């Protein structure tokens, strides 16, 4: 069939086309359908691999950003670590050793007396060991005026060693004494544990853990 004959075909009535033309058109549509179906099947079978590759790409991109950020800020992190170690060392130096604790207890007691307070109770409690330090609580009861108690708190804050105040309770001693108050407070000071004490505390923790596991 010539090109002119193809131009003269009635596209609205394919039934009148010559047989060879109909077969040709059918063959072309068949090839197109096969190609489309093949493409869709291939895409569908490879979609999980494409999704996995995309997820891996995103994961690698995130890892790269994190590592790049760490590399850029490496010097800053090092300086921060140095600052933390310096601050930790300064705080550690504020913790008294075992032999310094009695003097510190005297300093705490003398701080109350220096503020003009009457000391009704000064009772050191049992030591509580932590990871590398011990906590030493002291129950204190003081009688005096509001300003004297303020001077006591300021004096405690000014001690060269760390002392913290907890469970503060202030009440009026009697109705006739307007500025006669009673303060009940637990002062806590801290000392660092020496190497032998740290090892002993760790051994006790392991023993307690084994005992708990045995009971369970």
215 domain-assigned: no
pLDDT at 155 over 90: yes
Same-domain status, 193 and 114: yes
**How does the average pLDDT of the chain come out, rounded?**
77
pLDDT band at 128 (very low <50, low <70, confident <90, very high): confident
**Cα–Cα distance between 213 and 202 in angstroms, integer?**
17
Tell me how many domains the chain contains. 2
Same-domain status, 135 and 191: yes
Highest mean pLDDT among 118-132, 145-159, 161-175: 145-159
213 domain-assigned: no
DSSP 137: E
198, with CB counted inside 10 A (0-12, 13-18, 19+), is middle
The verdict on pTM exceeding 0.95 is: no
* Spatial contact of 191 and 98, defined as CB atoms under 8 Å apart: yes
Q: Which domain holds residue 42?
A: 1-72
- pLDDT score of 151: 93
Stretch 123-143: mean pLDDT, rounded?
87
Other beta carbons less than 10 A from residue 146's beta carbon = 13
Distance of CA 148 to the CA centre of its chain: 41
pLDDT at 41 over 70: no
């Amino acid at each position: 069939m010539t090109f002119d004959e193809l131009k003269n075909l009635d596209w609205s009535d394919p039934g009148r086309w010559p047989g060879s033309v109909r077969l040709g058109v059918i063959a072309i549509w068949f090839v197109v359908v096969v190609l489309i179906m093949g493409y869709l099947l291939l895409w569908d079978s490879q979609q999980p691999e494409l999704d996995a590759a995309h997820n891996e790409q995103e994961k690698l991109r995130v890892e790269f950003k994190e590592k790049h950020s760490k590399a850029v800020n490496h010097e800053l992190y090092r300086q921060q670590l140095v600052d933390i170690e310096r601050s930790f060392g300064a705080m550690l130096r504020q913790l008294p050793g075992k032999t310094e604790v009695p003097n510190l207890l005297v300093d705490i007691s003398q701080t109350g007396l220096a503020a003009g307070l009457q000391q009704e109770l000064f009772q050191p409690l049992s030591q509580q060991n932590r990871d590398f330090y011990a906590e030493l609580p002291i129950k204190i009861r003081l009688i005096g005026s509001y300003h004297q108690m303020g001077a006591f708190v300021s004096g405690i804050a000014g001690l060269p060693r760390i002392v913290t105040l907890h469970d503060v309770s202030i009440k009026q001693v009697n109705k006739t004494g307007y500025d006669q108050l009673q303060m009940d407070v637990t002062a806590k000071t801290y000392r660092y544990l020496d190497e032998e004490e740290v090892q002993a505390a760790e051994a006790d923790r392991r023993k307690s853990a084994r005992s708990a596991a045995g009971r369970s």
